[in-house]
Amino acid sequence: MAKLFNGLLGIGVALALGGLLMLVQGYNPLASYGALLQFSVADSYALATTFTNAVPLVLTGLSAALAFASGPVNLGQPGQLLMGALAATVGGLFLDLPPLLMVPLLVLLAMAGGALWAGLAALLRQVFQMSEFIVTLMLNMVADFFTIWAITYPLQDSTAYSPMTPPIAQSGWLPEWGDWNSAVVWMLAAVAATWFFSRRTRAGYEWRIGGQNSLFARLGGCPVDRNFVWVMLLTGALAGLAGGLVVMGGPHRFLRGLGANDGWDGVMVAIVANNSLPGVFLYGLFFAAIQSGALGMELITGVPSEIAMVLQGVLVLAIVASREALQQVTARLAVRRRALERRA
Amino acid sequence: MNLWTGLLNGAISGATSILLAGLGGAFTYYAGVFNIAMEGMMLMAAFCAVWGSFTFSSWVAGLLLAVVGSLGLALVFILFAVFLDTDEFVTGIALNLFALGATTYLLRQSFGVKGVYAGSDIEPLPALTLPWVAEIPWIGPVMAGHNLIVYGAVVATVASAWLIFRTRFGLRLRAAGYNPASLDSSGVSARRMRVYALLVCGVLCGLAGAFLSLGYVTLFSENMTAGRGWISLAAIILVGGNPWGVALIALLFGLADVAGLLLQSYQIPAQFTAMTPYLATLVALYFYARRASRAIRGRAAGFRDE
Amino acid sequence: MPALIELQEIVKVYPPALLALDHISLRFVEGEIHALVGENGAGKSTLMKVLYGLAHPDRGRVLYQGREIRFASPAAAIAAGIGMVHQEIVLVNEYTVWENIVLGAEPVGWFGQIDRPRARRQVQAIIDRFQFELEPDARVADISVAARQKVEILKLLYREVRVLILDEPTAVLAPQEIPQLFAELRALRDQGHTILFVSHRLEEVLELADRVTVLRRGRAVATLPAAGTTRSELAERMVGRAVLFQSRRVPQPSGEALLTLAGLRAVDGQGRISLHDISLQVHAGELVGVAGVEGNGQLELVHAIVGLLRPNAGRIVVAGTELTAAPILARRRVLAFVAQDRGRMGGSLSASVVENAIMTHHRLNRRLLRWRGWLLDMRAARRFTAELAARFAVSTPALAAPLQTLSGGNQQKVILGRELLLDCPVILLDQPTRGLDVGSIEYVHDQILAMRAAGRALLMVSASLEELFLLADRIVVLHRGSLVADVPVEQTTVEQVGRWMLEGVQGDG
């Protein structure tokens, strides 16, 4: 209940601030928000676009939320996403199997690519005690340059003007049903699987407790160090999956700037959701709705669609602030009530 | 100008923004604030610098606005992490993302372009020729002809070291980080010291950002800080916040930057040479972790599970 | 005599439910040493914090020199002339003695640059005036605890305070350091300072103070002149009933050795020996109590047994299983462990009661597992927790409620129940009743005695000699990392164990 109130309060504040910004710059905020709503959820096409946009957000959000809730500060979602996308692209360029085999194989490759990149950070942490926080950040930049190199030289499509790979084999394209892309199905499956893993498996329990109090988990007999590596691998795989699905469901090739902000957006989603998995799903959809709606907003009222990024940033700050403020207020009220009770 | 002078000149250019942001972070580091918002502050400043310089056709206005923009983010950080007691890590990440979003939006809104704005109507920082500097043998040619902020960074390094280690402000600042309870019970609010530290950090990150977009290059591009804030954070951690150490590490990164450019002439693709600062950070982190873990190993360390 | 400080009806509540001060009214007179005594949690420290501006009363007034005051911060209190030395010493270890003393009131020259010669001179002058033996340029990290305490006091004298509040100043001192502190405090009083002195050591209080106020569960129950008051009188008022040092333990023969420590040695990072060849056996049906002043190796001993610290030499054998280098999970099959710290080692406060209750069981109890241990059966876990709650009389709003919503006593019951249900032959208890209320303490004691009756081997570390004498069959004493005594409880006295704790055994240490 408090969570819902807090979320709505944060969203309200963010939208109000966004509206104010538009007003100051001479746009009509009401018309703009109307357009945003219309182009994000009003019809099947808009809704489908929102869900498709949500795929990388939710998956990187799950990755970040699961990592933060389990302890490791894995901030490598952008890099892991790129490496996953690259792995799926390479698979799609050099293999051609029946779709029934090809799609799962590429998905696995994408997950392996992301897991590998996260695993590198886990390895450096376990062997050399190098903080995964800085390592994953640096590996993001390395992955960025590495993938640009890969699509500029070895994997380049010589017929294209800007750096990109040729399209992957058609058998690796994710099937579409009307407006709906089956990437959404993979995302829903990932949400369900991650939730099940976290709530019903022994490892999920150990990760969660380890994230809250790692000394307690260690004393309770949990293999804390080994779990660390597994958390990194699995959260890397989730981010990698996001990259793979972006390639297989969208442009069907790796082009420059692919998934540019998706990794960080996922971190943001995890933060506003306070690492709750259902929260990640809902906020992921909400952020995606803003992103798809913003394009429509630009079309109708001329507000640059980049305002979506501002709205997201304000939203994160507003929700985090209202969460803390709410906690402080409730704690203070409780104290006052108890003092009065004792007096009586 | 021979090869070495060129190399060192380049290294100084590459080092300046990391140095300034690192000095800012050093203040917050000593004050006990886990400040990871340098990246966002620099980015915001870089944009404001270009916007100010373009709008008022004056690099002075650009510089001032850069500091204002960065300070604005610092104030938000203060409001959140110091007064609302929100998690510093979460606040820092949120601010960085907000800066990225806001600058991207403002770039589109103000200049009507996506990605990069590099108009010739941006007035860059002027190069400064200090007459007596160029005369110094060896060092002279390396140090001469840089812009204002480069010399500002040198001054800032000396001033930071003096402030942190010699003054009343510094004694209290470091106490706020070492043992805030002790400072509070001495009658000085540790919270207030954190506010001061973040304000100083805001100003220095503002200069760092202005240098990036008006000195190092004369343009603004989306996410142009490209991890420099994170590198300066790593530098601070590596040297434990000491301004001289930050300066040394920043110069090493500047050299890695230049080394990357040199490698390009050996047919190594630009993408790999561009990785050098980040790889250098990883290498530095490795040596740091090795030193730290050796210190722990003597102590009976905890078991590995299984 | 007029009161220098007067407290009127002070109330302080700590969230969620701790009434720390319950309408306290008190008067302190200028130029006296006034002691506040009470058990742990009686409200002594909180009262001093209220006086010092570190905590703000929810109700009530504080009068100082006849005027109502409400210090916004310690700074305001110091400016008014009231200073406090905390129980834990709060100095900046990285700074020198003089830097610590002047911190917050530094003499400065141009542009705020610290005038070092002047600062050092002033500090030296004040050291000389009160005849404290201290080196102004020593780093605080390198000086003894007694010296650090002097730095704390000097820091206040440097600011010219007239009222000194000392919170348990002797707790951190070696016995031979105490007379010197007392002499210095009396000298301060004779120069006109007022000293408020918080302690739970009755002999010290009676020796030093002019007047004594007794606090019990947040209330001021009496103020007495120290002269003519006896220790047992104070003790009775502190506890609220005549203090019984009577054991509820039923004698029983003990069985085979279940826990064996042989020559356990641990060396810390600076090369100091923290455990010095500890050898000890605990038998079935026996409870061995570990006594010692805090910081004499208890922590290291517990960590070595549970597996958080690798001993440099020696062996640990539990029920015939060699555990010296075993992973933690292997230890937990035969070793139950009740930690002193409920929120750090004993449990996770933000996790639910169920999640706290099934820790370790989730690896060892097949009832909770499905699919070869991959899945947790949450229904079975809830049933298990409900059984635990029923058997150990846990009162909780819901099994899914976070542990932190339970009272301290109920939290400890969850943890105790979890560990006892592991059915291990050996039980390690690290201050199992720390911070609990009287009712919960009795409950925990009953459970511990039941385990002893059931033939388990129990090793219990406790800071309370009373508790050890109540429960233990044998008492061992840790002093500077060595076991200096190992005696059946019938053959010793509280006074003798106390002496061993402070001084070791003659010729040993």
ipTM for this prediction = 0.82
- How far apart (Å, rounded) are the C-alpha atoms in residues A341 and B294? 56
By the CB < 8 Å criterion, does B175 face chain C? Answer: yes
Chain A's closest residue to B278, CA to CA, is: A138
The verdict on residue C270 lying in a domain is yes
Query: B178–C308: do the CB atoms touch at under 8 Å?
Result: no
Distance to chain C for B3, nearest Cα, Å: 42
Distance to chain A for B2, nearest Cα, Å: 31
- Average pLDDT for residues A63-86, to the nearest whole number? 91
- How far apart (Å, rounded) are the C-alpha atoms in residues C110 and C472? 65
Distance to chain A for B159, nearest Cα, Å: 28
- How far apart (Å, rounded) are the C-alpha atoms in residues A281 and A302? 30
Q: pLDDT band at residue B301, thresholds of 50, 70 and 90?
A: very low
Which of the pair, C121 or A175, is modelled with greater confidence?
A: C121
Distance to chain A for C127, nearest Cα, Å: 44
Which residues, at least 6 apart from B188, have a Cβ–Cβ distance to it below 8 Å?
A: B172, B175, C75, C103, C104
Distance to chain A for C102, nearest Cα, Å: 35
Between A224-249 and A183-200, two packed helices, what is the crossing angle to 10 degrees? Answer: 170
Residue spans per domain, chain A = 46-323
- Average pLDDT for residues A288-296, to the nearest whole number? 86
Q: Report the DSSP beta bridge partners of residue C8.
A: C61
Query: B108–A304: do the CB atoms touch at under 8 Å?
Result: yes
What confidence score (pLDDT) does residue A340 get? 52
| Residue with the two structure tokens 């009083």 | C189
Q: Which of A104-113, B120-129, C180-189, C341-350 bottoms out in mean pLDDT, i.e. has the lowest? A: B120-129
- How far apart (Å, rounded) are the C-alpha atoms in residues B106 and B50? 11
Subunits with 3+ C-beta pairs closer than 8 A to C: A, B
Q: State whether C235 and C257 are in the same domain.
A: no
What confidence score (pLDDT) does residue C239 get? 67
Which of the pair, B280 or A117, is modelled with greater confidence?
A: A117
Query: A219–C337: do the CB atoms touch at under 8 Å?
Result: yes
C196-240 pLDDT, tens digit each:
988 767 778 888 889 999 888 788 888 888 888 877 777 777 766
Q: State whether C108 and C184 are in the same domain.
A: yes
pLDDT averaged over chain B? 84
B306 interaction partners in chain C (CB closer than 8 Å): 327, 329
Q: State whether C433 and C486 are in the same domain.
A: yes
Given CATH 1.10.1740, say whether it is the number of domain A46-323: no
The verdict on residue C345 lying in a domain is no
Q: State whether C481 and C401 are in the same domain.
A: no
Query: A222–B109: do the CB atoms touch at under 8 Å?
Result: no
Q: Taking phi first (over 0 means left), then psi (-120 to 50 degrees means alpha), and beta for anything else, what does residue A316 get?
A: alpha
- How far apart (Å, rounded) are the C-alpha atoms in residues A129 and A139? 16
The verdict on residue C107 lying in a domain is yes
Q: How far apart are the first and last CA of chain C?
A: 49
CATH of the domain at C211: 3.40.50.300
Helices (H), C172-310: 178-190, 202-208, 231-239, 298-306
What confidence score (pLDDT) does residue B304 get? 34
- How far apart (Å, rounded) are the C-alpha atoms in residues C337 and C318? 13
Which residues, at least 6 apart from C342, have a Cβ–Cβ distance to it below 8 Å?
A: C349, C403, C408, C411, C412, C415
C22 interaction partners in chain A (CB closer than 8 Å): 342
C440-457 pLDDT, tens digit each:
777 888 888 888 888 888
B200-222 pLDDT, tens digit each:
999 999 999 999 998 888 888 88
Q: Which of B40-49, B145-154, C209-218, C264-273 bottoms out in mean pLDDT, i.e. has the lowest? A: C264-273
Which residues, at least 6 apart from A26, have a Cβ–Cβ distance to it below 8 Å?
A: none
Distance of alpha carbon C467 from the chain centroid: 14
C307 interaction partners in chain B (CB closer than 8 Å): 303
User: What is B3-305's CATH topology?
Assistant: ABC transporter involved in vitamin B12 uptake, BtuC (1.10.3470)
Q: State whether C254 and C400 are in the same domain.
A: no
By the CB < 8 Å criterion, does C328 face chain A? Answer: yes
Chain B's closest residue to C325, CA to CA, is: B303
Q: pLDDT band at residue A215, thresholds of 50, 70 and 90?
A: confident
C473-493 pLDDT, tens digit each:
898 988 888 888 888 888 887
Q: State whether C368 and C462 are in the same domain.
A: no
Cα separation values, C204 from C210, C465, C501, Å: 12, 17, 17
- How far apart (Å, rounded) are the C-alpha atoms in residues C92 and C97? 9
- How far apart (Å, rounded) are the C-alpha atoms in residues A96 and B91? 46
Backbone angles phi, psi at A74, to 5 degrees: -85, 105
Let me know: does B246 contact B19? Beta carbons within 8 Å. yes
Q: Which domain holds residue C27?
A: 3-239
Whether the predicted pLDDT of A244 surpasses 70: yes
Let me know: does B157 contact B181? Beta carbons within 8 Å. no
Let me know: does C367 contact C380? Beta carbons within 8 Å. yes
What confidence score (pLDDT) does residue C507 get? 45
pTM for the predicted model, two decimal places: 0.82
Which residues, at least 6 apart from B231, have a Cβ–Cβ distance to it below 8 Å?
A: B18, B253, B277, B278, B281
pLDDT averaged over chain A? 85
Query: B293–A129: do the CB atoms touch at under 8 Å?
Result: yes
Q: How many domains are contained in chain C? A: 3
Distance to chain C for B184, nearest Cα, Å: 7
- How far apart (Å, rounded) are the C-alpha atoms in residues B196 and B27? 9
What confidence score (pLDDT) does residue C174 get? 64
Query: C112–B167: do the CB atoms touch at under 8 Å?
Result: yes
The SS3 call for residue B122 is coil
Nearest alpha-carbon partner for B17 in B250, B276, B230, B262: B250
> Residue type at B106?
L
Give percent of chain A above pLDDT 70.
Answer: 95
The SS3 call for residue C392 is coil
3-state helix/strand/coil string of A36-104: HHHHHHCCHHHHHHHHHHHHHHHHHHHHHHHHHHHCCCCCCHHHHHHHHHHHHHHHHHHCCCCHHHHHH
Cα separation values, A90 from A166, A253, C50, Å: 10, 10, 68
Query: C13–A338: do the CB atoms touch at under 8 Å?
Result: yes
The verdict on residue C343 lying in a domain is no
Backbone angles phi, psi at C401, to 5 degrees: -70, 145
- Average pLDDT for residues C390-394, to the nearest whole number? 83
Q: State whether C483 and C384 are in the same domain.
A: no
C317-336 pLDDT, tens digit each:
888 888 888 888 888 888 88
Whether the predicted pLDDT of A241 surpasses 90: yes
- How far apart (Å, rounded) are the C-alpha atoms in residues A190 and A244? 13
B167, B187, B299 ranked by CB distance to C113: nearest: B167
The verdict on residue C339 lying in a domain is no
Q: Tokens for C309? A: 């610290």
Whether the predicted pLDDT of B293 surpasses 80: no
Q: State whether C310 and C253 are in the same domain.
A: yes
Q: State whether C397 and C486 are in the same domain.
A: no
B282 interaction partners in chain A (CB closer than 8 Å): 124, 130, 135, 138
- For residue C74, cis peptide bond before it (omega within 30 degrees of 0): no
- How far apart (Å, rounded) are the C-alpha atoms in residues C93 and C104? 16
> Residue type at B221?
S
- How far apart (Å, rounded) are the C-alpha atoms in residues C28 and C14? 25
Q: pLDDT band at residue C390, thresholds of 50, 70 and 90?
A: confident
What confidence score (pLDDT) does residue B306 get? 33
Which residues, at least 6 apart from B304, have a Cβ–Cβ distance to it below 8 Å?
A: A225, C327
Let me know: does B78 contact B192? Beta carbons within 8 Å. no
- Give A252-288 as a DSSP string: SS-BTTTTTTHHHHHHHHHHHTTT-HHHHHHHHHHHH
- Average pLDDT for residues B275-280, to the nearest whole number? 84
